[in-house]
Structure 1
Amino acid sequence: MERPQVRVYTDYKSPYAFVANKQLFELEETYGVELEWLPYTLRIPEFMGTVEERTPHFWRKVRYSYMDARRFANAQDLVMKGPRRIYDAFYSSVGMLFAQRHGIFRSYHETVFARFWNHDLELDELSAISGVITSLGGSAAEFEAYVHGPARAEHDRIIDDAEALGVFGVPTMVFNGELFWGGDRIDMLVERIQNPQSAAKALGSRYGK
C-alpha cells in the first residue's frame, strides 16, 4: 500500500513551526506518513510591516504569540528564547534542501531549530549554517557552492509554488491538495489521513454545497 504523503512548509525562525516538529515527525512513526519538508521563508516586513509601522495592538499580539509558543515549548522541554532581531532565513532554508540531498536532514533540522531558539546560531550568516553542515559530516565547500549557484532560483521557485497552492504561513501541511495551517490543525490532518473521503464532505459544507 502506498504511504500517505504530506508536504510540510516550515521556517526556522517561526516559533510555531519549531514546536510543531514533534507532532509532525510522529506522523511518520504512528501513521506511516511520508513527509516532504520544504522551506517557506517568511518575509517578515511583507506581512508584519516594518518595525516603525507596528502599532501597540501589533506588539500585544506579538508578545502573546511568543508566550503561547513558549507554553508548547515548555511542555516538550524545549528552550525558546525570543529572537534578538529580524532574520533573513535564506541560508538556513537552502541548508535544509542541501541536507536532504546529503542524508543529514533530520539532524540538521533539529540542530538548526534548537540552536537558533537557544540564541546559539545566526540564521542569516552563511558561515554559521556552513558550520552546522560541517559538524554533521557535510561539506561546507559544496554547500557554499550551492548557495552561490542554483540555490536562490530553487528556493524562490519553491516559495512561488507554495503561494500558488495558497500557503501564507508556517507550519503549513498539504495533504491531497488540502492545506492545514498551524500545529493546532495536525489532529484534523490525522483525521484526513485516516479518512481521506471526509475532505469532500467538510469542504463542501464549508461552501454550502
Structure 2
Amino acid sequence: MNQNKDNLVKDAIEPLKSEAPLIIYIDLKSPYAYLSIDPTRDMLKELDIVADWRPFVLDIPSYLGSAKLGKGGKKVAKQNRTEEQWSDVKYAYFDCRRYANLSDKTIRGTVKIWNTDLPAIGLLWLKNFTNLTEQCAENSYFERYIDKIYDSFWKREFDAEDVASILALLEQIDAPTDGFLEYAESDGAALNSRLQQSSFDAGIYGVPTYILPGESETDPQHEKFFGREHLPRISWLLKGRQGPAPDVAYLLNPEVDDEALTKSAADPRTEPELKIAPLQLTTFFDFKSPQSYLALQSILALKGEGISVDWRPFVSKPLKVPAEEVANEDRSTKHYRIRGEYHANDIKRYASHDLTNIYRETDCQFADMGLLWLQHEVRASNDAIDDYVQQVFVHLWQKEGKIDSPQDIEPLFLATKLTQDEFDKAIQDRTFINGWQKYVESKGLEHLDRAREASLS
C-alpha cells in the first residue's frame, strides 16, 4: 500500500479507460447508486475480478429542477420543478425505498440537492493510497468509506458539504489523512473538476454507470450501461458471452422472504397490508412503446408461475429523437441529448431483432379498443387476450404492419386463439367482424376514454 502523500495522482483520469475490466461511476446523492453497491460487489466477487470505482457528481438541477425542504425536513420551502419532474422524483424515491426495505437500508428523502464534490474528492484521495485490488478487497479503506458515508448520508446524519465531516470519516476508518485538507482545496479539487467534465463529455450522465473498456472497440453498443438492472448483461459480457444474452433484472438477496417481497411490490396508497402475492399482475402498456414491446415476453412468461395479466392500455409519450450536437451546448441540453442517445442504444441492444423505428408516433386507439372489446364484450379468456396483445405487438414491431383503422385490427382478431365458446359468443347472430365494427361505432370510444382516464389516476 502506497501511503506517500508526495505521490498523489494529479493527472487527468481517462473517463472510459482503466486497467480494470469494469469502471463504475457512483454519486453519494443518488439512491440508485446506493442500491447498486451490494449487488455489484456480489458480481465482482462471483467473477473474481476487480473494478475501478470512480465518482460522478450529478448536476440534478440542470435536468430535474431543484427543491429544498423547510425546517423539520417535511414541507417543500423552495422549488422550481414542473409537475412531470415532481412525478419522476416521487416515483424514484418510492421505487428506491421499496428496494431499500428488502436490503435493510434506510433511504430518507434529502432536504436539498447536495453538492457532493467533497465526498467525490474523498474517494479520489483514497485511490492514491490503494491499488485496484486493494480498493475492491473486503473491509478496505475504500469499502468502509463507501459504506459509512452512504449509510449516514441517507439517514440524514452526514453533511456532504462539510470538509471536516469528510476528514472525520477518513479518521474513523483509519485511512491516511495527512495533507487531505490541502488536497481537497487544491490538487484533489482540480482532479475532480477535470474528471467530472471529461466523464460528462464522454457520455456519462447518471449513476450508477458501468463502463466496459474492453468493449469500446469490439462492440461499442455494449460499452456503457446505466443502472444496476444491467448487471446480468454486464456479468454475461465479462464472462465472455457464454450462453444466451440475459435481459435486464434487479438482483435481490436470495434470503428475502416472500412476505417482504410481496409487501414491497404493493402500492402503499391502496394495499398497505398486502401479505399474499397476487395471482394477477395489472400491466399498463402502450403498443407503440419499444419498452413495452421488449417487456412482452417476460410478462407473458408469468403464466408459467400461475400469474395472469390484466392488460390496461396507456398512452405514453413517444421517444424523442435526440437533438443534433451543436456548439456551446448548455449542460441541460447536452444531458438530454446524451440521455436520448443512450436510451436509443439501450433499446436496440436488448431487442431480439432490428427495430426500424423506435420513435414511432402510431395512433393505437383501435388496437386498444380491440383489447377492451375482447375484455368487456367478448369476455375472452386470459389466454386469448394475451394472444391478441402479442399479435398486435408482432404485427407492429416485427411485420411493420398498420394499426391505424378498425380494418387493420380485423386480421389480428381472426389470428387470435379464441376458444369455440368465445367465438360463438362473439358472433351472437352476427359475424365476428360485424360485432367488432358495431363496438367501434358505439361503446368503443367511451370504453377507451374511461380506460385511459383511469390509467392517469
TM-score between both structures, scaled by the size of structure 2: 0.42
Counterpart residue type for residue 64 of structure 2: M
Deviation at 1:78, TM superposition (A): 0.8
Q: Is 1:11–2:27 an aligned residue pair?
A: yes
Equivalence for 2:239: 194
Secondary structure of the corresponding residue to residue 180 of structure 1? strand
> Are 1:32 and 2:41 an aligned pair?
no
Correspondence for 1:164 among 175, 181, 201: 201
- After superposition, the C-alpha distances for 1:164-191 in whole angstroms (9 at most, x for unaligned) are 3311100000013300100111111112
Q: CA deviation at 1:140?
A: 4.0
Q: Tell me the residue number matched to 1:133.
A: 170
Could you say which residue in structure 2 is the equivalent of 1:68? Answer: 95
Distance 1:129 1:165, change over 3 A: same
2: CA distance between counterparts of 1:163 and 1:41? 10
Partner of 2:323: none
TM-superposition CA deviations, 1:71-116 (whole Å, max 9, x none):
1111111111111111000000010111233351111011111110
Distance, in Å, in 1 between the alignment partners of 2:354 and 2:36 is: 26
1:138 is displaced (CA, Å) by: 2.6
Q: Distance in 2 between matches of 1:174 and 1:206?
A: 24
Superposition map of 1:48-197 within 5 A: 48-51=64-67, 52-103=79-130, 104-175=141-212, 176-177=215-216, 178-196=223-241
- Can you give the 5+ residue segments of structure 1 that lack an aligned partner in the other structure? none
Alignment length, in residue pairs? Answer: 204
Assess if the C-alpha contact under 8 Å between 1:11 and 1:170 holds in 2. yes
Tell whether the 8 Å contact from 1:108 to 1:132 is kept in structure 2 after alignment. Answer: yes
Identity percentage of aligned residues: 24
* Amino acid corresponding to residue 85 of structure 2 in structure 1: F
* Closer/same/farther in 2, CA of residues 147 and 207 from structure 1, 3 Å limit: farther
| More contact order relative to length (CA 8 Å, sep ≥ 6) | 1
Per-residue deviation, residues 109-166 of structure 1 (Å, max 9, x unmatched):
1111111001111111111111101111134442111111201221122123322331
Match in the other structure for 2:431: none
- Report the alpha carbon displacement of residue 33 of structure 1 after superposing the two structures with TM: 2.3
For the Cα contact (< 8 Å) 2:65–2:85, is it kept in 1?
A: no
Match of 1:21 in 2: 37
C-alpha separation in 1, matches of 2:158 and 2:66: 23
Deviation (angstroms), 1:195? 2.7
Kept in 2: contact 1:38–1:158 (CA 8 A): no
Segment of structure 1 superposing worse, 71-80 or 158-167:
158-167
**Divergent runs of 4+, >4 A:** 201-208
1:24 maps to a residue whose letter is T
- How far did 1:46 drift? 1.6
Tell me how far 1:203 sits from its aligned partner: 8.8
> Which secondary structure state, in structure 1, belongs to the residue aligned with residue 179 of structure 2?
helix
Structure 2 residue matching 1:158: 3-state secondary structure: helix
Tell which structure's C-alpha radius of gyration is larger. Answer: 2
Asked if 1:41 is matched to 2:57, the reply is yes
In 2: Cα distance, 1:206 partner to 1:73 partner:
36
Secondary structure, aligned partner of 1:68: helix
Asked if 1 retains the 8 angstrom alpha-carbon contact of 2:106 and 2:154, the reply is yes
3-state secondary structure, aligned to 2:45:
helix
Q: Look up the equivalent residue of 1:16 and give its one-letter code.
A: Y
- Indicate if the aligned counterparts of 1:42 and 1:169 stay in contact, CA closer than 8 A: yes
CA RMSD of aligned residues (A): 2.3
CA contact (8 A) 2:60 2:113 kept: yes
